[in-house]
């Protein structure tokens, strides 16, 4: 996983990981995310997943843990721009709403199939 960070407006950190977030890279991603959530003056952390082509349960765990850390610090964690495969993982695991993105962020309309996963 490559990690990238864009400068953002005051009070906001934007992380832009790239590649894969899996067992091998989740630790690095978690360290980067945790550091951003603990920065003085940060009120929102945005994780732009546009360049992440694969996300497994390790990555989902890091994001959910980030929400918990953020809530304890009064910092909002929000995910944007997931590729369709990554968005599907987040929908299947039921965390898309927790992470603050709508299905339209994944470039497709809200699903109408069984459990909304099609």
**pLDDT at site 101:** 72
Spatial strand order of the sheet with 12-15 comes to 5-6, 12-15, 44-48, 76-80
pLDDT grade for 36, boundaries at 50, 70 and 90: very high
Helices 84-92 & 57-73 angle (0-180, nearest 10):
70
Cα 19 from Cα 2, distance rounded (Å): 6
Cα 60 from Cα 73, distance rounded (Å): 20
**Choice among 18-32, 37-51, 89-103 with the minimum mean pLDDT:** 89-103
**How confident is the model over 42-61, as a mean pLDDT?**
97
**Choice among 7-16, 64-73, 74-83 with the minimum mean pLDDT:** 7-16
**pLDDT at site 10:** 85
- Whole-angstrom CA distances from 85 to 40, 67, 102 are 34, 21, 14
């Amino acid at each position: 996983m490559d990690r990238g960070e864009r400068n953002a407006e005051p009070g906001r950190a934007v992380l832009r990981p790239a590649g894969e977030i899996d067992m091998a890279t989740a630790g690095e991603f978690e360290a980067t995310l945790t550091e951003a959530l603990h920065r003085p003056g940060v009120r929102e952390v945005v994780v732009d997943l546009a360049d992440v082509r694969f996300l497994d349960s390790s990555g989902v765990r890091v994001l959910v843990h980030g929400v918990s850390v953020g809530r304890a610090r009064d910092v909002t964690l929000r995910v944007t721009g997931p590729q369709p495969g990554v968005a599907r993982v987040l929908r299947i695991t039921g965390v898309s709403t927790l992470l603050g993105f709508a299905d339209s962020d994944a470039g497709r309309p809200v699903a109408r199939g069984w459990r909304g996963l099609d």
